[in-house]
Amino acid sequence: MQFVFYLLVIALMIGALIDIITRDDSQVRFLPKMAWIIIVILLPLIGSLLWFAIGREYAEAGIRLPRMTRREQHPSPPAAPAAPVDTRTTEQQIADLDREIEEWRLRQEIEKRKQNPSTGSGTQD
């Protein structure tokens, strides 16, 4: 009889380990997946029962009460309006920076020529 009990515990443990490993991180509750794996390995019967009882998210069935997330539990004071989000790609941002650098270089050159007009290109209007 003990042999059957041990087989059931091992089958339950293997089922729990497979379920933990294949489950998405967002469907694991209370502890990280690695912690659940360690608990199930160290305490096969109790760990497996705890996993199936409280550790996993079950599919939507019946009436579901919304869980409060950390953000909802501790509301922060209202923040100042955020700056508009920049939706440009990295390449566009780099091109804009290159144009700004070129403009800055040209302005420096114009200022230098205004201060010392004899170093001009030789063509005057």
Q: Which of 66, 30, 69, 65 is nearest to 51 (CA)?
A: 30
Q: What confidence score (pLDDT) does residue 77 get?
A: 64
Are 52 and 21 a contacting pair, CB within 8 Å? no
Q: How far is 101 from 122, CA to CA, in rounded Å? A: 26
User: Mapping DSSP to helix (H, G, I), strand (E, B) and coil, where does residue 28 land?
Assistant: strand
Q: What confidence score (pLDDT) does residue 80 get?
A: 66
Q: What confidence score (pLDDT) does residue 106 get?
A: 94
Domain range summary for the chain, segments of one domain joined by +: 2-58, 90-116
**Predicted TM-score (pTM) above 0.75:** no
Mean pLDDT in order along the chain per 10 residues (125 residues) = 88 90 84 89 89 78 58 61 72 91 93 79 53
